[in-house]
Structure 1
Amino acid sequence: MARERWQARWLLAAPHRLGFFAAACLLACSALWWLAWMLSRHALGIAWFWAVSPGLAHGLWFAFGFMPLFFTGFVFTAGPKWLRLPPVDARSLAPAVASMVAGWGLFVAGVHMQPLLAALALVVVAMGWTAILRRLARLLGASTVGDRSHLRVILGAGGVGALALLASAACLVAGREDAARAAVQAGLWGFIAPVFVAAAHRLVPFFGDLASPRLAAWWPQWLLWTLIGLCAARWPFALADLWWWPQSAAWRALQMSVDGSGALLVVTLCWRWARLQGLRTRMVTMLYIGFAWLGLCFALSALSQALLWASQGTRALGLAAPHAFTMGFLGSTMLAMTTRVASGQAGRSLAADRPAWALFLVLQLAVLLRIGAALWPAVEPALLIVAALAWSGAVGGWALRYGAWFGRPRFDGRPG
């Protein structure tokens, strides 16, 4: 029997449909926008007008654009189950989601026309996101479940994100792009990273007692708070890179110690994961690779600081570590988790099928190419274009495939 045609009304059938569809649209649009810029700049030699610098515009949209919408779909799908509460009606979330989508559309116009318009857009986005946080706070208040730590982390981190959006808007009004970049870093390490860590810690069995049974017996949430602390420590280091140059040897030694410790922890956990559980399914492998990118981010950052120290500030690894974190850890984990939720909620197997696995592999290629562009400046323009093409293919393919699911009934005929 032929499947029903796509209808927008199905987006309001469940929170994950609404949130994921809006996020997928923004994700695909942001990828195509950046690809067009890369092609215009490096292949065609056509200059675009930027009212806000390209790097800052890129950071704001890629950090705050689609991620909060993915969080919205995820939190209001999994959250009520964790809290043992009734499902959330997606229609109650629609005004906030619409506000965020409209705000980012306005933002794109603003970065090419007028900084004040971009600032206004960020305020609109912050208002929508704040409404989402208020709804989450009401859920937490209504629950009597003992362990609400993961959703409390997400709520607290979400508050950091709202403040970072408003701070970025204020900085654009004041003409302080350097301070806006600092706000982006605060959002990245104080908002996006803790949400990902909390979700992974709750959903992936490995992040429980198996990681270290003896330590877990003494401090059950040790891994959650250790990883959050390591990510939070990245913010002052990012601020130093923006405003403090040259940095002292003691500061570089501190950063190498923190990042090296993070790399050692993640590599150890990956080794235990592979030894005790193995990579039995594609979905497990996707989550494993995503987590491994976090370790590589810490390792690249520590190595970059070591090079700066040894060369007296003349050699570094550029943007390799940040992209290992954003495209590698965040991108891979996002694709794995959203694929898992979308498949389960659509009535399909939770195991990643061939199309999902192919999209994931293309995304890995994009990450490797982008890091390669940072490591080999001589071929950077060509690698940037190919990386942008691969990234657009991976996320655009995901948006097309799963966006088609969100506008149709479940495959098994059940409601939702």
Structure 2
Amino acid sequence: MSGRTTRPQPWRWARLLETPQRLCFAAAALLLAGSGLWWCLALLAAQQGWPLHWQLPPAMVHGLLMTLGPMPLFFAGFMFTAVPRWLDLPTPPARSLLEPLLAQLCGWAALLLAAHGGSPSLGRALGAIGLAAVAWGWSGMLWRFAALLRASEAADRTHARALLGAGSVGALCLWASSAALLVGEFALLRALNLVALWGFIGASFAAALHRMLPVFAAACPGWSERQPLWGLWAWLGLCAVEASTALWTWPPLALALALLEAAAGTGVLLLAWRWARVQTLGLRLIAMLWTGWCWLGLALLLSAASAWLPLGRAPLHAYALGFLGTSLLAMASRVSSTQAGRSVAADDATWGLFWVLQLVALARIGAALAPTLLLSAAIGWAGIALAFLLRHGRWWGLPRAGSGRPPLTSCSLPTPT
């Protein structure tokens, strides 16, 4: 019997259409790396005194991109690959998401063009059209996801409904942001960005992590199959309060909000301490998720302290880079590894990116007191995003490792026997 060597399979664009996860994650990672490099170059130009024309406020464009750019596309990859399994439904074809996905990518490209070209009025008009295209694309994805919910007869659809509700908040924020940009209401745009950060992004993470954390921790003894639903409602309630105060503030309520954040942050850290007692944090994926959870508690405590101390944007970036960034890296790496047929989610490369991200988060928080750290944090974030794109982008265009079977539709860990 003559031995035959197997030729490596070439990378193909067509394989991005094999599952929604591959298609949406590839687009999200491309947008994440592109926006990170753009912001890094913008800060470098400002530091060096290079002429860079701005027709829209740089911080506003950066906030919109970081909040509503890659995150919804990562969510879509998860919602149309893992969530159908929760709903006892087959995975929908990735091609059905291609049109709304391209609308979102083109919309963000239009916003970046609007930020640097033409006149301020033209910039506002083109940027508003771009945001409307993003809103239309995301609304189209939500419509398809709602159809899955309507078709499902699964007994437990709570988390999927929470994802749909959070996504609807995001769609409303995008449509409202388009109108606000058109008329030049930049203060309203900043408020809508914070609403989306908590009411959309934060609430989506709450729904996904509440459902998935017991699954991710299934390889460790001492963890129950399901968490009680009161934890989900409390988390979503906190997101609703934070989103509401971004739109409407009343000075007498500022102290009450600070006390609520202090209590919530303390509760989160107490849960993290309990989690560390019953989990094996030596498992890298578990340690990454645990660290993200600790960042959430720290962000809430910093936000509470900012009622008395001049902390600037430190609480915001502890939440966005620390909690959201770390949790996204852990979950996206796990989903991508499973889909690619790889047994180890948090290998040495992912573990290295995780530690660089912790340094970047600390640098961005420290920039509230030492602004010279801002460029270093931007360079670090751009490097993480680019490394994630190059590493996982190779997987998304290759066949699933180890077999000729199609990619999996689950991102769960095996339950120990």
TM-score (norm 2): 0.90
Match of residue 406, structure 1, among 375, 396, 403: 396
Q: Following the alignment from structure 1 to structure 2, what is the Cα–Cα distance between the partners of residues 346 and 296?
A: 34
Q: Following the alignment from structure 1 to structure 2, what is the Cα–Cα distance between the partners of residues 238 and 167?
A: 14
Q: Following the alignment from structure 1 to structure 2, what is the Cα–Cα distance between the partners of residues 253 and 60?
A: 28
Match of residue 85, structure 1, among 77, 82, 89: 89
**Superposition deviation, residue 207 in structure 1:** 10
**Superposition deviation, residue 47 in structure 1:** 3.7
Does the alignment pair 1:360 with 2:354? yes
Task: Name the structure 2 match of 1:24.
Answer: 29
Q: Following the alignment from structure 2 to structure 1, what is the Cα–Cα distance between the partners of residues 172 and 8?
A: 44
The answer to whether the Cα contact below 8 Å between 1:300 and 1:321 also exists between their aligned partners in 2 is yes
**Superposition deviation, residue 239 in structure 1:** 3.7
Percent identity over paired residues: 45
TM-score (norm 1): 0.91
Task: Name the structure 2 match of 1:348.
Answer: 342
Task: Name the structure 2 match of 1:311.
Answer: none
Structure 2 spans left out of the alignment, 5+ residues: 1-5, 118-122, 408-417
The answer to whether the Cα contact below 8 Å between 2:32 and 2:70 also exists between their aligned partners in 1 is yes
Task: Name the structure 2 match of 1:10.
Answer: 15
Structure 1 spans left out of the alignment, 5+ residues: 308-315
**Superposition deviation, residue 92 in structure 1:** 0.9
Partner of 1:352, secondary structure, is coil
Does the alignment pair 1:185 with 2:176? no
Query: Aligned partner of 1:70: which letter?
Result: F
The answer to whether the Cα contact below 8 Å between 1:363 and 1:390 also exists between their aligned partners in 2 is yes
Q: Following the alignment from structure 1 to structure 2, what is the Cα–Cα distance between the partners of residues 187 and 257?
A: 23
Match of residue 271, structure 1, among 261, 270, 273: 273
**Superposition deviation, residue 236 in structure 1:** 3.5
Task: Name the structure 2 match of 1:58.
Answer: 62
Match of residue 42, structure 2, among 37, 46, 51: 37
Q: Following the alignment from structure 1 to structure 2, what is the Cα–Cα distance between the partners of residues 186 and 386?
A: 28
Task: Name the structure 1 match of 2:142.
Answer: 133
Trace 1:188-267 onto structure 2 (pairs within 5 A).
Answer: 188-205=197-214, 220-239=228-247, 248=251, 250-267=252-269
More helix by share: 1
Task: Name the structure 2 match of 1:392.
Answer: 382
Trace 1:161-180 onto structure 2 (pairs within 5 A).
Answer: 161-180=170-189
Task: Name the structure 2 match of 1:328.
Answer: 322
Partner of 1:117, secondary structure, is helix
Q: Following the alignment from structure 1 to structure 2, what is the Cα–Cα distance between the partners of residues 181 and 239?
A: 9
Task: Name the structure 2 match of 1:369.
Answer: 363
The answer to whether the Cα contact below 8 Å between 1:255 and 1:305 also exists between their aligned partners in 2 is no
The answer to whether the Cα contact below 8 Å between 2:30 and 2:389 also exists between their aligned partners in 1 is yes
**Superposition deviation, residue 93 in structure 1:** 0.9
Task: Name the structure 2 match of 1:155.
Answer: 164
Q: Following the alignment from structure 2 to structure 1, what is the Cα–Cα distance between the partners of residues 239 and 215?
A: 19
Distance 1:2-1:282 versus aligned 2 partners, 3 A rule: farther
Between 353-362 and 275-284, the greater mean CA deviation after superposition: 275-284
Query: Aligned partner of 1:359: which letter?
Result: L
Q: Following the alignment from structure 1 to structure 2, what is the Cα–Cα distance between the partners of residues 66 and 164?
A: 15
Cα RMSD (Å): 2.0
The answer to whether the Cα contact below 8 Å between 1:153 and 1:198 also exists between their aligned partners in 2 is yes
**Superposition deviation, residue 351 in structure 1:** 3.7
Task: Name the structure 1 match of 2:101.
Answer: 97
Q: Following the alignment from structure 1 to structure 2, what is the Cα–Cα distance between the partners of residues 361 and 281?
A: 15
**Superposition deviation, residue 395 in structure 1:** 1.4
Deviation track 1:372-398 (CA, whole Å, cap 9, x = no partner) reads 101x2xx31x21111111111111101
Partner of 2:153, secondary structure, is coil
Query: Aligned partner of 2:301: which letter?
Result: A
Task: Name the structure 1 match of 2:412.
Answer: none
Q: Following the alignment from structure 2 to structure 1, what is the Cα–Cα distance between the partners of residues 317 and 305?
A: 15
Q: Following the alignment from structure 1 to structure 2, what is the Cα–Cα distance between the partners of residues 142 and 350?
A: 34
Task: Name the structure 2 match of 1:312.
Answer: none
Partner of 1:88, secondary structure, is coil
